[in-house]
């Protein structure tokens, strides 16, 4: 049913979701739900919490689709930003609540995961871009994005001044951006193409 919308752009689907067209939300979930879940699981290390984060993110898409402004961001960026934000909110809340940190929970294993071939290719491309970065920049990006650490927590953890952390994050993301724009590394972010 939802696959009838498969030819639509992400942005058109968000506009339909803004009109409460449920199949459009279903199609967006089919395109990005798995990536959102993988991301939430990486951050939260707990399947039930990851499900909560993804559910909250897609309901935020549903509720706020009418405020999405296509000229400000790509729809995929917007959706995955919402998912990331929910997961980070939850990890910070849980870490305040618990004595042990979620960080000590095992990282989701790569082996044995029945991973979609296209998503695996995307993952390998991103990881190869990360490998190009200087270690300090990669570490800052990974601890912030996958670890949910704030810049102040990062500074404390790494024993570096806040200014150093800020510039590592900035340089790392800027370099990622350049790598994404290089010919041949251009990526299509939807899993349906």
Give, as ranges, the residues between 65 and 124 that touch another protein (CB under 8 A).
65-66, 70-74, 76-77, 80-81, 83-85, 88, 108-110, 113-116, 119, 122-123
What binding mask, one character per residue, do residues 6-35 give for another protein by CB under 8 A, x or -?
-xxx-xx--xx-xxx-x--xx--xx--xxx
Smallest distance from another protein to CB 149, Å: 7
- List the Cα angle 127/133/135 in 5-degree steps: 100
Interface residue with another protein, options 95, 130, 158, 164 (CB under 8 A): 130
Residue 156 interacting with another protein (CB under 8 A): no
Report the nearest approach of another protein to the CB of residue 8 (Å).
Answer: 6
- Smallest separation (angstroms) from another protein to the CB of 113: 5
Residue 85: HSE in the Cβ half-sphere, 13 Å Cα cutoff: 11
Residues within window 39-68 making contact with another protein, judged by CB under 8 A:
39, 41-42, 47, 50-51, 54-55, 58-59, 62-63, 65-66
Please give the C-alpha separations between residue 63 and each of 15, 25, 37, 180, in angstroms, as whole numbers.
12, 11, 19, 31
- Angle between the 135-145 and 151-158 helix axes, to the nearest 10 degrees? 130
Residues 158-177, interacting with another protein (CB under 8 A): 163, 166, 169-170, 172-174, 176-177
Number of CB atoms found within 10 A of residue 124's CB: 10
What count of other Cβ atoms lies within 10 Å of the Cβ of residue 189?
15
Overall residue count recorded for the chain in this entry:
193
How far is it, in rounded angstroms, from Cα 94 to Cα 164? 28
In whole angstroms, the minimum distance from the beta carbon of 127 to another protein comes to: 6
């Amino acid at each position: 049913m939802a696959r009838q919308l498969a030819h639509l752009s992400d942005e058109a689907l968000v506009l339909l979701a803004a009109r409460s067209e449920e199949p459009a939300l279903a199609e967006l979930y089919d395109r990005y739900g798995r990536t959102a879940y993988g991301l939430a699981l990486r951050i939260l290390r707990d399947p039930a919490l990851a499900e909560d984060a993804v559910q909250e993110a897609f309901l935020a898409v549903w509720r706020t689709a009418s405020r999405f402004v296509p000229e400000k961001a790509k729809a995929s960026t917007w959706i995955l930003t919402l998912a990331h934000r929910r997961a980070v909110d939850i990890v910070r809340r849980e870490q305040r609540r618990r004595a042990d940190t979620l960080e000590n929970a095992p990282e989701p294993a790569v082996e044995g995961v029945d991973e979609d071939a296209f998503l695996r290719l995307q993952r390998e491309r991103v990881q190869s871009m990360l490998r190009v970065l200087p270690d300090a920049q990669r570490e800052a990006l990974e601890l912030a994005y996958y670890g949910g650490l704030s810049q102040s927590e990062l500074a404390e953890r790494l024993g570096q001044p806040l200014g150093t952390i800020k510039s590592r994050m900035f340089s790392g993301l800027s370099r990622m951006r350049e790598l994404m724009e290089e010919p041949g590394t251009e990526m299509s972010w939807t899993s349906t193409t």
